[in-house]
Each structure stands twice: as structure tokens, then as C-alpha cells.
Amino acid sequence: MGAALIKSAILIFLIALGYVLKRVGLFRQEDSKVLSNIMLYVTLPAVLVNAFRDFTMDLHLASFILIGLGVNIILLAVGWKVGAREQPLVHAMYMICMAGFNIGSFAIPFVQNLFPERMMEVIMFDVGNSVMNCGVIYSFAAMQVKKEERFRIKALAKTLLSSFPFDLDIGLFVLALFQFRFPDPIYQLADTVAGANAVVVMLMLGIMFEVRLDPAARHQVVGIVTTRVLTEAVLALAMVAFLPFPLEQRLIAALLVCAPISGMATVFCGKLECNPGVYGTATSLTIPISIAVMIALSLV
């Protein structure tokens, strides 16, 4: 328990450090994009290469793909139901902000530090999450605003194939199925670079964190965050209680369904011209909530 607390405290400190450095003027909000690119194209690939090093496919891991799909569908349905009383644009925003999980730049660094032997569960979950997060959620949300919009498999496939982390996941997954291994120096390099992933991501989250509560839209922020957190709590309890897996895998599943709102939500909400104060604030508020939940689960 002491080790988990220390590791969690270090991650929280890095987030707080990023936020403080931004407030004193050493970083700007725009600098988070630089760190995001470093994470996306340098440190995260190293983490994935290391995770697939000793990969062996089993039923439990395959189930995490279905879990990633299933919980997204549930949250999307909840967002559709709860937001139905709102205007079409707000209704769409509820759906986008309810579903989708920030796995690559949030859950992975936490699991990497606390449960490195469980990285494959996270990656398999993110495969299912990415399918929903890279097009399905937006397509159904857009239908609430633009009635002529239709779900298109071709558009979804194009979005998925243009997602570098998803392509890398699938590529490494296929290579691992054929028992392909990179030369040892590649894994040594990946191990060194992967060690920087948590630092880069946590600083990035601290720089990105911003809460702007517009009084006129406050009830929308509260509605989105409260509904999402309560639904995630129910899903997490269901994972621990009913999944036919060992306890540690059940806790990992519970941890993943408590991840913050996906970064893709800001892209898709912006595309529909939703209120940036609402979805930006909602996204920021789910970060500290997810940190608290993940620390609690890590102590278990």
C-alpha cells in the first residue's frame, strides 16, 4: 500500500507542477500540444512496444476489447437519454462527453506506474474504446443536430486508420500473434523512452487543466459530470462484482471505466460548434475525479 501511495503521490505532484508552472508563466496552454505530440509519437509507442514484448493472447484479454466497446455503448445510451430534454446541440454534447475514455494520455501512465504487468488489459480495452471514440460516438451525436447525418462504416474506418495509436496497437498485436520479436536493443531503447511517458503526460495534464464556469452553462457542466461519474461508479462496481476474472483484472477494468472524458470529445464538440466553456470545463473536472478513484482502486 505504501508503494502505491508514493507512486500515486508522484503522479499528482507532476500534474500540480504542470499547473503551477503554467500559472507562473513558464508554460502556456498551447505548450500542452507540444507535450501531447511527444507523448503520441515518442513515449507512448515505446510503452506499447514494451507491453507487447511477452504478449500471449487469452480469453481474458480478448474480453477487454468487448468491455471497451460495451461500456462505451452504455454511456452513449445514458447520454442520449439524459440529454434528450436539452436543445439538439446540447443533446449531442451530452452524448459526446458521456462516452469515450482518455486511455492513452491518462490511464496508461497510471497503470504503467502502478500495475506494469497489466498493461495488455489496458491496451485491449483501448482497442474497443477507440472504435467507439474515433467515429461511432460522433456519428450518433451528430444525428441529433443534423438529421441528414447517417452512420457510415467507410467514414469510421477512415478515422480509425488515420489514428496513429490505433494503427500501432493493431500492428503490434498482429506481430505478436505471429510471435515476432524486435532485437533486444529495440526493447532496451523502448524501456528507456517509456520511462519518460508518465512525466510527459502528467505535466501535459497539469498545463491543460482549466476550469471556466459560465453561470449560464453551469447546469450543463454539472449535468454532464454528475451523470458520467455516477454511471461510471455503477459500471465499476459491476466490473468488480460480476466479471469472471481474478480480482486484480476486475480492479483494472473498474479503473479503466473511471478514466476521464476523452480528448476526442473536445475535437468532436468543436466540430459541432458546441459551447467550449461547457465541454472544456467538463473535461477538466473529470481529471481530478478520476485521479481520486484510481488512487483508491490502486490501494485495494
**Cβ burial, residue 145 (10 Å; 0-12/13-18/19+):** middle
The answer to whether 31 and 217 are in contact (CB under 8 A) is: no
pLDDT at 297 (0 to 100): 73
Rounded to whole angstroms, the Cα distance separating 243 from 238 reads 8
Per residue in 112-160, pLDDT (tens digit) is: 777 778 888 988 898 888 888 776 888 888 887 776 556 566 766 776 6
pLDDT at 3 (0 to 100): 62
Per residue in 234-279, pLDDT (tens digit) is: 999 999 999 988 888 898 899 899 998 887 787 778 777 777 778 8
Q: State the total domains in the chain.
A: 1
Which CATH number goes with the domain that contains 201? Answer: 1.20.1530.20
Q: 180 lies in which domain range?
A: 2-299
Tell me the β-bridge partners of 101. Answer: 261
Q: Pick the more confident residue, 38 or 162.
A: 38
Q: Pick the more confident residue, 121 or 106.
A: 121
pLDDT at 216 (0 to 100): 67
Tell me the β-bridge partners of 172. Answer: none
Question: Maximum CA pair distance of the chain?
Answer: 58
Per residue in 64-96, pLDDT (tens digit) is: 989 999 999 999 999 999 888 888 888 888 998
Q: Please tell me the pTM assigned to this model.
A: 0.81
Rounded to whole angstroms, the Cα distance separating 66 from 52 reads 19
Where do we find the cell 533486444?
Answer: 184
3-class SS string, 135-193: HHHHHHHHHHHCCCCCCCHHHHHHHHHCCHHHHHHHHHHHHHHCCCCCCHHHHHHHHHH
pLDDT at 125 (0 to 100): 92
